Amino acid sequence: MSEEGRALVTDREREIISGDADVSDNYEYKVKSIVRNRIRKRFGDDVEFLEEYFPEAYEMVVDEVCDERPD
């Protein structure tokens, strides 16, 4: 793992969600639920915080999230 860590999911969560980890379906569902809740409950608050107190980082988030993705 890099020094910076992860923004939304941990390395372990990535392994589980991608199917690279040998875990039960129930545990995979739990991990996905945790990530969904993290996004629902914390992401918006963090973005609003950055917009007010760290506009440069807010713009970086907007650029990354709102960037058009190729089909």
What whole-number distance in Å separates Cα of residue 8 and Cα of residue 21? 18
Task: Give the model confidence (pLDDT) of 60-70 as tens digits.
Answer: 999 988 976 66
Please give the pLDDT value at position 6. Answer: 73
Residue 28 tokens, joined: 């995979």
What whole-number distance in Å separates Cα of residue 42 and Cα of residue 23? 26
Q: What is the mean pLDDT of the chain?
A: 90
What whole-number distance in Å separates Cα of residue 47 and Cα of residue 70? 24
Mean pLDDT score, 17-44: 95
Task: Give the model confidence (pLDDT) of 11-27 as tens digits.
Answer: 999 999 999 999 999 99
